[in-house]
Amino acid sequence: MLLEVSWVRHRDTHLLTVGRFTYTSDQRFRAIHNPHSEDWTLQIKYPQHRDSGIYECQISTTPHKSHLVHLNVVEATTDIIGEPELFIDRGSTINLTCVVKFSPEPPAYIFWNHNNTIISYESPRGGVSVITEKGETTTSFLLIQQARPSDSGQYQCNPSNAQSKTITVHVLNGEYPAAMQRGGQPLHLSTNAHRYLLIASLLLLLS
């Protein structure tokens, strides 16, 4: 006896497939079945958040049999600790940390860009290295030793399976940044910058 397998989406009780035939105008859905196999697979290309929910596999037996599958579509997120801006003293080490979360699998690679150019760890600049720790949460550390003004600019973390994230780095020549805050976000200052803030506060108290 030839059994027919159907897939139904519970959100709107829409019949998606019967056998290998598709009954939806959404071309992302299709049924996959190998004639020599008992496996019936519902494929959803380019899944979106709205595809999350319960799907029911129905088998045309007597009595009727079915199996529920809960699909949860998640989107990987990328964050750079300290973004959107980082202030650091000349000669210090720039340490940028990029964190990728909620990824079904670790990214195959993570590229770092400086002012839209991929950073080369073998450039004549020297002192540039990256350490990437893959896992449920993947973390990539970009280290730039002996920071110089030319190291200022936009740094972008580009994971293979998530959106990129950008941070603006300012390498200071001992001067104190004019603004403590940009866009409502606190700025991360180096040790010397905090020292300048304390001196400025004392001068105000004594004046």
Per-residue pLDDT tens, the chain, 207 aa: give them. 568 899 999 999 999 999 999 999 999 999 999 988 889 999 999 999 999 999 999 999 988 899 999 999 988 999 999 999 999 999 999 999 999 999 989 999 999 999 999 999 888 999 999 999 999 999 999 999 999 999 999 999 999 999 999 999 999 987 665 543 333 344 444 444 444 344 334 444 444
In sequence order, what are the residues at sequence separation of 6 or more whose Cβ sits closer than 8 angstroms to the Cβ of residue 25? none
pTM score: 0.66
Report whether 160 contacts 137 (CB < 8 A).
Answer: no
Asked if residue 10 and residue 48 are part of one domain, the reply reads: yes
**Interatomic CA distance for residues 195 and 189, integer angstroms:** 10
Asked if residue 121 and residue 56 are part of one domain, the reply reads: no
Residue 207 counted as domain residue: no
User: Structural domain of residue 126, as residue ranges?
Assistant: 77-174
Q: Specify the pLDDT at position 66.
A: 95
Which tokens hold the place of 12? Answer: 């709107």
Domain boundary among 71, 99, 129: 71
**Interatomic CA distance for residues 156 and 80, integer angstroms:** 9
Residue 66 counted as domain residue: yes
Asked if residue 10 and residue 55 are part of one domain, the reply reads: yes
Asked if residue 169 and residue 97 are part of one domain, the reply reads: yes
Q: Specify the pLDDT at position 184.
A: 34
Which tokens hold the place of 63? Answer: 């009595």
Closest CA to 6 of 71, 58, 74: 58
Q: Specify the pLDDT at position 94.
A: 97
In the chain, the amino acid numbered 72 is N
CATH number of domain containing 61: 2.60.40.10
Residue 145 counted as domain residue: yes
* Overall domain count for the chain: 2
Residue 190 counted as domain residue: no
